[in-house]
Amino acid sequence: MTERRNKLDIIFDILNSIQNKRGSIKPTHLLYKSNLSHDGMKRYLGELKVSEMVSESEDAKSGKKMIHLTDKGYKFLEEYSKVKNFTESFGL
């Protein structure tokens, strides 16, 4: 059985999913890629908006909501990847 993801791993997965879509993603696609419930995703996105790691806008052409990775979000991904690689190198 796999372990449950901790909060930082979930945040990393959300931000990484956005980054993999060139920095912008539709909320529905993010929901599927992050493997969270709708309520869980709303809660995490709220926290990420407050901490300015993501922003939200409406696409001019389609009128659909889009989630964007900010510079702060990119920085978090970079630094958390370093920590994750460091701990994994020690088998933790």
* Structural domains of the chain, with CATH: 7-84 (1.10.10.10)
- Amino acid identity of residue 46, one-letter, is G
pTM above threshold 0.95: no
**Residue that the structure tokens 């908006």 belong to:** 49
Sign of CA dihedral 71, 76, 79, 84: negative
What are the residues whose beta carbons fall under 8 Å from the beta carbon of 36, sequence distance 6 or more?
10, 14, 44
- Distance, in Å, from the CA atom of 22 to the CA atom of 39, rounded to the nearest integer, reads 25
Convert the pLDDT of each residue in 17-73 to its tens digit. Answer: 999 999 999 999 999 999 999 999 999 999 999 999 999 999 888 899 999 999 999
Residue 14, number of CB atoms within 10 A of its CB: 27
| pLDDT of 90 higher than 80 | yes
